[in-house]
Chains A and B, each alone.
Chain A
Amino acid sequence: VQLVQSGAEVKKPGASVKVSCKASGYSFTTYYIHWMRQAPGQGLEWMGLINPNAGNINYAQKFQGRVTMTRDTSTSTVYMELRSLTSEDTAIYYCARTFYTDGYNLDYWGQGTLITVSS
């Protein structure tokens, strides 16, 4: 099982960023993909999830209206786009999977993508 994320990016305030998470080694449509982030010196924060099978999505209220999660089943890839970036969005962003039932256990994680927002 692997979740491989896209590389680090530097963005200016107000810009958008789109991070990818390519899954391999398992049945892509059987596991939800979640996005979390960790800002410098801070803890883990859940952003939302996408069901790669049906495409339905659940976003954390904090990010509603500013985040979009999509998937491409042909390439087993999930995308997370975050808009209207500010310096507070500087963080490492992670994708992770959970099985679709019996608890949201984040058993495999991507390597993380550093997003730096700076003018």
Chain B
Amino acid sequence: DIQMTQSPSSLSASVGDRITITCRANQTILDYLCWLQKRPGRPPNLLIYAASTLQSGVPSRIIGSGSGTEFTLTINSLQPEDFGTYYCQQSYSIPLTFGGGTKVEIK
């Protein structure tokens, strides 16, 4: 199974800040990497697929980058609706595996 490691596990930031979350795979997954946001009481929401492609309806201040084994999610100008937990997920092979999550709190 492909192991996904995220950092940090949590962060606190103010509205307007830029935040960056890192995800690493223990083997190459090319660009088969997704980012999802999970908010309490809601199902996960796909933000980015293929490492850098925005899902329809996702604001352009959310940016994904990386390939191979290292990936980054950047959120520019953090908004109140950005709170929640972010998960990376490799979409390369079965079994699908997720990072441990990064909890984003708004100061």
* Interchain Cβ contacts within 8 Å, total number: 61
A-B contact pairs, 21 of them (CB 8 A): A34-B96, A38-B38, A43-B101, A44-B101, A45-B98, A46-B95, A46-B98, A49-B94, A96-B43, A103-B32, A103-B49, A103-B91, A103-B92, A104-B91, A104-B92, A105-B91, A106-B36, A106-B44, A106-B89, A106-B96, A107-B49
Q: Which residues on B are within 8 Å of A, measured CB to CB? A: 32, 34, 36, 38, 43-46, 49-50, 55, 87, 89, 91-92, 94-101
Task: Tell me the dominant secondary structure on chain B's binding face.
Answer: loop
Interface pair B34/A105, CB less than 8 Å apart: yes
Closest 9 CB pairs of A and B: A109-B43, A105-B49, A103-B91, A46-B96, A104-B91, A44-B98, A103-B32, A43-B101, A60-B95
Interface pair A43/B87, CB less than 8 Å apart: yes
Count chain A CB atoms within 10 A of each CB in B32, B91, B95 and give the residue with the most.
B95
Given A94-B44, A104-B91, A105-B49, A46 contacting B100 (CB threshold 8 A): no
Q: Which residues on A are within 8 Å of B, measured CB to CB? A: 34, 38, 43-46, 49, 58, 60-61, 94, 96, 98, 103-107, 109-112
